[in-house]
Chain A
Amino acid sequence: MPLQALRTVAKSQNGVGAFILQCKRIDFHYCDWAGSSRGMNAFLKHQLPAFAAQNPSIEISVSPRPGRHPVIKGQYINGREKAICVRNMEATEVTKKAELLKTASGEKLRRDRKPVKSFNESVRGVWSPFHGRQYKI
């Protein structure tokens, strides 16, 4: 095995020592008049206090957006933002969407092509044409 130098800086792994929630802020936008905002309004009145108490590390802002559909926007530590339109949803469904945003990492949604993800190097070495049994004609 080739020589490996010691790392001067420890590799960060979120959750090993301390866990930092990636979602830093959630904005709830609603409309006082529109019918599509009924579920959102009910969520804000009845379920938001519990959600805010369970997640003290998330900054929550509630502001009206008159004449528009209700929207939940989450901002993440990696600088990205995710928005979900919750038009015509019930309060329970809005809660689920808020939970979804809270548990997201902020990364783009990608399809994983490889089944295994690891930072560890290959145990037996990556194949190259220069190593291994020589082929003689």
Chain B
Amino acid sequence: MRASRAAEQTLRSATLSPPQQYVCRACRAQAARQFHTSIRGQAGLPFFQRLQQQLFGSKESEQAEKSRGAKKLQQVEDLKQRGSSNQLEVKVAKNGQQYEVAAVVVPNETTDYVQALHGKQLERIGSEAWVKARADQGEQYAGFVPKYRWEFSNKQWQMLLHHVIVEILTLQKAGRVPGDVCMGRRPFANSWQKTRKAQLKANTTGTGVAVSYPFPAVEERVLTAIDSSSPAESTLLQQSLTAKAESAVFVAGISSEGPAPAWMNVSIKDPSVKMALVKRILQITGMRVPDYAISSSTIADLYNRLRRLERPKKIAETEQLQRLKINAPNVNVFPARRSSIDKEKDIGRWKVIEEELVRRNLPVTGRRWGGVKATSL
């Protein structure tokens, strides 16, 4: 049926002439204005001058090169003034996050620094050979992203998002970095149970969302459970982490269908909160949140983009036919196509047919594959 429809369309398009598209004068003029055969910046220059600039450089490019060189020398001078080469310059970004500027190495002055001639001489961090070399030295490489991506149902996604956002907001409330949510947990912390009691409400000031706990002791326990000093929970413990997450988010009574619940209208426009959320989801589930989901402004948007839509039920799986199967004794509902073998099996003739086919050394099922022969009953 599908093949015939495709064939009909192909024939129709082949026989009919292509429709002539009308383009108005204004659109034609606009297209002509946008059309350029040369690079804009160099369009005004004559050919010889353009060639000269490409080979020998222009005054502007020389000045830019000089200013970059001067900046680099200035950075080296600052480092020298700071005294130790181990100290890195600290910059404060707009959101208050502190960043360390990478060190500048001047090859002429550093004797133990040898410039590589090509990329193959450089050490590749994280490559298989590097990991193997480290493992041989006794170091066990612990990655951040789990090996396998775990699938969660919609119910479980709701619970997971609630737990993660509560932890992040609790950290933010306590003045800690939201990124610490990926750090290790103290043993027997049981923070999954604690965060379930937390509630998310809009701030009284009207900006953002606030997290509130029924008892301050619960909030304290959630904070102390996150150990900022320990490294991020690694893939070594990944299975236990995800098993914990799965068992913790297995909650009955939450509807998996329908829109996101009201508490999910939490704004995640704050980049530090969003980054922490995405990192934690990656750490637990192995799911790399796609760009269109990361650009969500609220958790409800994120949830709607991540959740799986319910697969439309097949007729045999619908309630009406399932009920009919039970209530009507003269009705048989089959979920899959009934072949001639199924019909023969119903009558009880298939055993005889199969026996005879085997006796005659003929294929029992299928006829295209040469190796299909029943060798034993």
Contacts and interface: CB of A to CB of B under 8 A. Distances in A.
Interface residues of B, number: 22
B337 A64 contact: yes
A30 B315 contact: yes
A34 B314 CA distance: 12
Given A30-B315, A63-B337, A49 B320 contact: yes
A41 B312 CA distance: 14
Contacts of A59: 330, 332
Nearest to B327: A49
A34 B315 CA distance: 12
A49 B328 contact: yes
A32 B328 CA distance: 22
Chain A binding site: helix, strand, loop or mixed by DSSP? mixed
Contacts of A44: 315, 320-321
B338 interface: yes
Interface string A61-100: 1111111110000000000000000000000000000000
Contacts of B327: 49
B315 A41 contact: yes
A65 B321 CA distance: 16
B45 to A, nearest CB: 62
B334 A52 contact: no
Given A46-B320, A49-B324, A60-B331, A67 B315 contact: no
B332 A66 contact: no
Contact size range, A: 20 to 34
The winner among A30, A44, A58, A59 for most chain B CB atoms within 10 A is: A44
B1 A52 contact: no
B334 A61 contact: yes
B333 interface: yes
B314 A52 contact: no
Contact of A69 (B1, B335, B337): B1
Interface in A106-127: none
A68 B332 CA distance: 20
Interface of B: 1-2, 314-316, 318, 320-321, 323-324, 327-338
19 contacts: A34-B1, A44-B321, A45-B320, A46-B320, A49-B320, A49-B324, A52-B324, A52-B328, A52-B330, A53-B328, A56-B329, A60-B328, A61-B331, A61-B332, A61-B334, A61-B338, A62-B316, A67-B1, A67-B2
Interface of A: 30, 32, 34, 41, 44-46, 48-49, 52-53, 55-69
